[in-house]
Amino acid sequence: MADLNLSASPSPGGKNPNTSAPKGAASKETPKLRMSPAGDHSPVNRTAGAIIGVVSVVALALAVFLSNPSAPTASGTGAGTAATASSVTPTGHTTRVSVGVEGMAFTPGHIEVPVGDRLIIDFTNSGDQRHDLVFENGVTSGSLATGETKELDLGVVSGDLEGWCSLPGHREMGMTLHVQATGASSSAGASASGGHAGHAGHDHGQDAAAGPATPTALTDYAATITPRDPVLPPATSETERHYTFTVTEQTTNVTDTLTRQTWTFNGDAPGPILRGHIGDTFHITLVNNGTMSHSLDFHAGLVSPDQVMRSIEPGQTLEYTFVAKNAGIWLYHCSTSPMSMHIANGMFGAVIIDPTDLGAVDREYVMVASELYLGADGQSADASLLSALAPNAMAFNGVPFQYKAHPIQMKTNERVRVWVMDAGPNLATTFHVVGTQFDTVWREGAYVIRGGGSGGGWGQVLTLGAAEGGFVEFTPTEAGHYSFVNHALSLAEKGQVGVFEVSD
Ligand SMILES: [Cu+2]
């Protein structure tokens, strides 16, 4: 353990006065991240024999640019004509196609248009949440609510065109629309469209080794903020519980120089930690103050998902009531597709329903484990890192390394209970406290070990897959710095590590 550098280092800047900076505020100066240069979107990836085509693409693109310098910036409905018109002979004919949405796909997902035709798409968002349709030439529908329709004039088609939904994660879920220009010569076919897929998700997450979200940068930043209070208060006595969950979307610092988009319940990730007893009724009002569709899924409730878990529009509210019938530490999360993206951006939390036979402890904490997939500055989670299950930062209670920068204080011989929820969205948490053993481990509804196991057995980790939860109990008998980690150690080294500072 010693050489893992996870042990407590007394944090010098611990209570940094800089805490007045609002957490959501964008950093004042934001050094540019190393992003792929625009030239990275090269048109070369199509076919082996494309060299000549590439040369003519460049020549044609240059010619188009020289003849109409404003062309490459064309955007908005009806403005797509310029970039493409000069390279083919217009037929004078218009092709008109209706496009809808089914699940996370455009229908149809493939359109064939005779080259030289003008293309008009009547796009209707027939899906169950907000979407848009954008094309690489800049024509866009803008964000459409369910049921809304927009006409997109793509102008005279001279080559293939890629369209997609630009909401985070939607393209990666399959929301692409391919326009194939039929009857085009190979060079013309490649020219107007640029022949590339215009990957919005191309700005791959930053290089964790050299980028700004290094463990040092994350820890330094954590030292400047007030850590999220890990103390779990006892459940109050009321049996009818009322809460409002307000969804907002904002920019949040990850380091001094790197921000990310977060989507949150009540402004923080994790959202509120609720606690009650078996039999309590939870009345939740969900308010969507974001810009896209969002929703809620409470694992603590036994309710038909159809109505209460539906996505609601910006400005709408939803009533979600459930009775807590069973004990557990239950995940809640936004369940709007892609769920991995909504959870990775911060839309998760926990509801704790006490088992009826909880023992007495001196201190009680809660740790919600989660993953960060950091992309370019100011962006939501990087979709390709997310899809690859490759987070570049990890957190307990939302902020990497915060309890390493601000150790949690306790006394020797105090009995401690730590509730742990693995919010994921993807990876396992094996919760371990260096220097202790657990005499009690409760996982997913049952005691795995209680008061020491049979034959003198105790435990070393609480193992949780995504969306699992439980608690451990232990009693440190000697003063010192007890690191707690996800013992999947590469994840601890990305931020899932903290310190219990035990004194006599
Ligand atoms: Cu959401």
Give me ligand 1 centre to Cα 334, in Å.
5
Secondary structure of 402-434 as H, E, C letters? HHHHCCEEEECCCCEEEEEEEEECCCCEEEEEC
pLDDT higher than threshold 90 for residue 56: no
Residue 184's pLDDT band, with cuts at 50, 70 and 90, is low
User: Residue 146 carries which DSSP code?
Assistant: T
Give me ligand 1 centre to Cα 169, in Å.
12
Residue type for position 167: L
Give me ligand 1 centre to Cα 349, in Å.
13
Give me ligand 1 centre to Cα 434, in Å.
36
Averaged pLDDT score across all residues of the chain: 83
Give me ligand 1 centre to Cα 290, in Å.
9
Give me ligand 1 centre to Cα 118, in Å.
37
- Residues 392 and 385: beta-carbon distance below 8 Å: yes
pLDDT of the residue at 18: 34
The CATH label, of 2.60.40.420, 2.60.260.20, 2.40.50.140, 3.40.50.150, for the domain at 2-32+206-503 is 2.60.40.420
- Give the DSSP H/E element, type plus range, for residue 190: helix 186-191
Q: How far apart are CA 199 and CA 449, in angstroms?
A: 50
Condensed to tens digits (0 to 9), the pLDDT of residues 336-376 reads 999 999 999 999 999 999 999 999 999 999 999 999 999 99
Give me ligand 1 centre to Cα 55, in Å.
44
Which fold would CATH assign to domain 43-202? Immunoglobulin-like (2.60.40)
Give me ligand 1 centre to Cα 113, in Å.
36
- Whether this prediction's pTM lies above 0.85 is answered by no
- Minimum mean pLDDT range among 39-53, 269-283, 438-452: 39-53
Q: How far apart are CA 242 and CA 280, in angstroms?
A: 11
- Minimum mean pLDDT range among 47-51, 107-111, 126-130: 47-51
pLDDT of the residue at 213: 86
Give me ligand 1 centre to Cα 199, in Å.
23
Give me ligand 1 centre to Cα 294, in Å.
4
pLDDT of the residue at 86: 55
pLDDT of the residue at 99: 96
Residue type for position 293: S
User: Residue 314 carries which DSSP code?
Assistant: T
pLDDT of the residue at 46: 34
Give me ligand 1 centre to Cα 271, in Å.
12
Give me ligand 1 centre to Cα 295, in Å.
6
Give me ligand 1 centre to Cα 265, in Å.
9
Condensed to tens digits (0 to 9), the pLDDT of residues 92-111 reads 999 999 999 998 889 999 99
Average pLDDT over residues 33-61: 35
pLDDT higher than threshold 70 for residue 9: no
pLDDT of the residue at 453: 81
pLDDT higher than threshold 50 for residue 80: no
pLDDT of the residue at 304: 94
The pLDDT > 90 percentage for the chain reads 73
Give me ligand 1 centre to Cα 91, in Å.
45
Condensed to tens digits (0 to 9), the pLDDT of residues 406-463 reads 999 999 999 999 999 999 999 999 999 999 999 999 999 999 999 988 889 999 999 9
Q: How far apart are CA 382 and CA 160, in angstroms?
A: 27
pLDDT of the residue at 185: 53
- Minimum mean pLDDT range among 1-10, 297-306, 455-464: 1-10
Give me ligand 1 centre to Cα 341, in Å.
8
Among 494, 212, 263, residue whose Cα is nearest residue 380: 263
Give me ligand 1 centre to Cα 385, in Å.
19
pLDDT higher than threshold 50 for residue 302: yes
pLDDT of the residue at 32: 34
Residue 174's pLDDT band, with cuts at 50, 70 and 90, is confident
- Residues 401 and 214: beta-carbon distance below 8 Å: no
Give me ligand 1 centre to Cα 311, in Å.
8
pLDDT of the residue at 20: 35
pLDDT higher than threshold 60 for residue 183: yes
Average pLDDT over residues 180-193: 55
Q: For the chain, what are the domain ranges?
A: 2-32+206-503, 43-202
Give me ligand 1 centre to Cα 405, in Å.
30
Q: Which two tokens stand for residue 252?
A: 């949040």
Distance of CA 175 to the CA centre of its chain: 18
